[in-house]
Structure formats: structure tokens, C-alpha cells
Chain A
Amino acid sequence: SAVISQKPSRDICQRGTSLTIQCQVDSQVTMMFWYRQQPGQSLTLIATANQGSEATYESGFVIDKFPISRPNLTFSTLTVSNMSPEDSSIYLCSVRGSASSYNEQFFGPGTRLTVL
């Protein structure tokens, strides 16, 4: 399966600031997704990162709050803007459509964000 890395692995931020999370894959993939997992909860899809075009956001998530970039087939960023304590969560990058495993979806190690 594809090897996925995320930076930073964790961060503590002040409210009102922004944090950009990077996701790097070691091979080209068709699809890249961003999820959020709040404490004790399951995974919630934030958006699908589309290469060369605007991301597709799920209900309840907007571009102004969670701008996403995907400049190529191996890299994406998620920014959490104007943070509040409610944004404290684990943010996960996920990929699908690698050459070795087309239908299966894999997750990066996650970024643990705490907003004070």
C-alpha cells in the first residue's frame, strides 16, 4: 500500500490562528481525502481534495474554514482557519487509487490538534 506521511504530527494552537497540515504520499494516487476524528468518535469526511480544481466539501464543512490544496497526485494540504477549541481533533489524510491497490483506501498517521 502507499506510504502516507503527515506534518505536523501534533500541534497546540491559540484560538483565532490557522494551521496548515501537509499530506505526502510516496506514489501517485487518484483520490485524496481529509477526515476529522473527534475524541471517542468515528471518522467524518471533511472534503475530497481534487487535483487542479477546488475541493469537494461535505455538508457542514466550508472552504473558508477548511481551505484545501492539491497541486499534484502525491501532495495535499488542509488548513484549519480561525481556530476555536471546537476544532480540537485528529485530522487524517486518506488516499485511494494507488497503482498497487486501486479500490482500497489507506490513512496517514494523523495530526492531533489542540486549540486553546
Chain B
Amino acid sequence: QKEVEQNSGPLSVPEGAIASLNCTYSDRGSQSFFWYRQYSGKSPELIMSIYSNGDKEDGRFTAQLNKASQYVSLLIRDSQPSDSATYLCAVNVKGPGYSTLTFGKGTMLLVSP
């Protein structure tokens, strides 16, 4: 069973702080990693993808990947109340013929003004 683990939270940070969200995965063969943001009552929205070790930055978001440690993280700088949502980590798992995404249970982030 391929697993993706996340702390369910909630993670509470004040406005302007850095929020750090973490994820570990069990399948060493995974090659693609994604972070989705899901607001209450809405569908998941892709915010970051990362495929190689190191950091990838996009605006206030930085994804970090360490395949040796099977660890992926998302940093949100200058957190805003509008960042309050559940963040889902997803890992691509290879199957016969094609790969599918396995999702963690998500971490709820609360940014207080």
C-alpha cells in the first residue's frame, strides 16, 4: 500500500509569517510530487508541482523535495488570511501502464489576521 502522510493540523500561523507544511511518502519509485489547495466546499486546486530534488519557487510558494528522505514540503511566505485552506500533498505512483496520484489526508492551515 503506497502511503502519503501529512499532519492533519490545524497549523495556525499569524498573518505575515511563514507556514511550513510537510509530507512524507512510502514509494521510493515516485517521481512527481504535487501540492493542492482546497478551500472548504471547493475542489482541489493545483498550486505547485516538483519533480527533482531541491527547491522550486513560485511567488510566495516554495516546494522542497528530498527523494532520499522521501520528504516533500511546501513553504508559504508572508502568509495571508486568504491562504487559510486545507493543503493536500499528492504523489505519483506508477501502476501497470500509467501512474495515479495518491493523496495525503491534508493539513488544515489557519492564518490569523
Contacts and interface: CB of A to CB of B under 8 A. Distances in A.
Interface of A: 1, 31, 33, 41-43, 45, 48, 90, 92, 103-110
Candidate in B44, B46, B51, B103 with the most chain A CB atoms within 10 angstroms: B44
Interface of B: 32, 34, 36, 42-46, 49, 51, 88, 90, 98, 100-101, 103-106
A42 B43 contact: no
Contact of B88 (A42, A90, A104, A106): A42
A42 B104 contact: yes
B46 A104 contact: yes
Contact of A103 (B36, B43, B49, B88): B49
Given A105-B46, A106-B46, A45 B32 contact: no
Nearest to A59: B1
Query: Main SS of the interface on chain A?
Result: strand
A105 B35 CA distance: 11
By Cβ-Cβ distance, the 9 closest A-B pairs, closest first, are A107-B43, A42-B105, A43-B103, A110-B43, A42-B103, A107-B44, A109-B43, A104-B49, A42-B106
A45 B98 contact: no
A48 B44 contact: no
Contacts of B44: 43, 92, 107
A109 B90 CA distance: 18
Contacts of B42: 109-110
Given A33-B100, A45-B101, A103-B49, A92 B106 contact: no
